[in-house]
Amino acid sequence: MKTSIIGGGCWGTALGAHLAKKGIETLIWAREPEVVSAINKQHYNPKYLSEFKLPENLVAIGDCSKAIRESNIIVLAIPSHVIRQFLELNKNSFLPGQIIVGAAKGIEVDSLKSIYEIVDDIFPPNLKIQYACIAGPSFAKEVLEEQPTAVVIAGRDAKITIEIQKLINYNYLRAYRTSDLIGAEMGGALKNVVAIATGLADGIGFGLNTKAALVTRGLSEIQKIGVRRGAKPETFLGLSGLGDLILTCYGELSRNRTVGFRIGKGERLEDILSSLGQVSEGIITAKSAFNLIAKFGVEAPIFSEVYKILYENKPHLKSLQDLLDRELRPEANE
């Protein structure tokens, strides 16, 4: 099936190259004319992961409407906070029965909706737009390097989920599947906030004990929030939960961990963001998650403290000490 990747960033480039290597007819839409030209003529992306040669059968296109109309499967590899705007602007280009694959990870700040819920808002049921998402521990650079990787495809329709699973699966990339769509999307989004916390610990100079505590307790908080949103608790022990959490908290390629690390070193958030050149989804998700825990009355102290550091300028050392000084309690609900 012909597939269009919407977004010429790191993940969009990696997914486009991956599918093209499989021999799948693949388009990749990018806003920048110089990116489109370089992919088509020199077979590399000059803005992202420029050290990699891309397959010659990966075709870049600057006409977004054409990219959408010409394919059966549309992969959304753009930042989560612009997805609603993008779909609103381009909804008339979508055709009945197309499959949208969500490759972004985030929670909308105002509505607190996940990506699939935004898609549901935009498209009427009679259009029969199908949806699945790809989640799990998968740095774009390592996918381009063809390093063994495992991901999970989540969707409500079993037939569509299996179709996308087969589309993504390849000799170095193993794809599993799940019906817990909200769980997969919540795990993928929320782990970015915990990665900021572990990056902070690294930046301050704390050791592995501290990181292990933050990752473990962070996973517990992710699970509590996700379950209140309707997810299955066991989903958070899989690739879209624990797997993605480990990668993002320990991997040096993680943008969210990098943000936390640099804050821990004493840099101002504004300076960090201006120098990154790419979106750190965890900063936006920290606000969404804070609103979620307030809405549902969930106790999630790590998420609360990350929010206060990012949005209320709370000193990070004070936040970490406040976590340690909390009232003693059982580890789990006993």
| pLDDT surpassing 80 at residue 97 | yes
**What per-residue confidence (pLDDT) applies to 276?**
80
| pLDDT surpassing 90 at residue 61 | yes
Q: Which of 331, 218, 214 is nearest to 285 (CA)?
A: 218
| pLDDT surpassing 90 at residue 332 | no
- DSSP secondary structure letters along 245-290: HHHHHH-TT-HHHHHHHHHHTT--HHHHHHHH-S--HHHHHHHHHH
Per-residue pLDDT of 22-36, as tens digits, reads 999 999 999 999 999
Per-residue pLDDT of 311-323, as tens digits, reads 999 999 999 999 9
pLDDT band at 278 (very low <50, low <70, confident <90, very high): low
In words, the CATH class of domain 182-324 is mainly alpha
Percent share of the chain, pLDDT over 70: 99
H/E segment holding residue 125: none
pLDDT band at 279 (very low <50, low <70, confident <90, very high): low
Q: Which of 21, 31, 120 is nearest to 67 (CA)?
A: 31
Extract the tokens encoding 126: 């009679």
Among 114-123, 223-232, 235-244, 322-331, where is mean pLDDT lowest? Answer: 322-331
Per-residue pLDDT of 181-234, as tens digits, reads 999 999 999 999 999 999 999 999 999 999 999 999 999 999 999 999 999 999
For residue 314, the one-letter residue type is: K
Q: Which of 156, 164, 79 is nearest to 125 (CA)?
A: 156
- The CA–CA distances, whole Å, from 16 to 83, 85, 116, 182, 283 equal 19, 23, 21, 25, 27
Homologous superfamily of domain range 3-179: NAD(P)-binding Rossmann-like Domain (3.40.50.720)
Catalytic residues: 191
**What per-residue confidence (pLDDT) applies to 334?**
54
In the sheet with 3-6, reading across from the earlier edge strand, the strands are: 58-61, 26-29, 3-6, 73-76, 99-102, 130-135, 149-155, 173-178
Q: Which of 76, 47, 55 is nearest to 64 (CA)?
A: 76
Average pLDDT over residues 271-287: 86
Per-residue pLDDT of 247-272, as tens digits, reads 999 999 999 999 999 999 999 998 99
> In whole numbers, what is the pLDDT of the chain averaged over residues?
96
Beta bridge partners of 61: 29
pLDDT band at 169 (very low <50, low <70, confident <90, very high): very high
pLDDT band at 280 (very low <50, low <70, confident <90, very high): confident
Residue ranges of domains in the chain: 3-179, 182-324
Average pLDDT over residues 139-145: 98
**What per-residue confidence (pLDDT) applies to 110?**
94
**What per-residue confidence (pLDDT) applies to 79?**
94
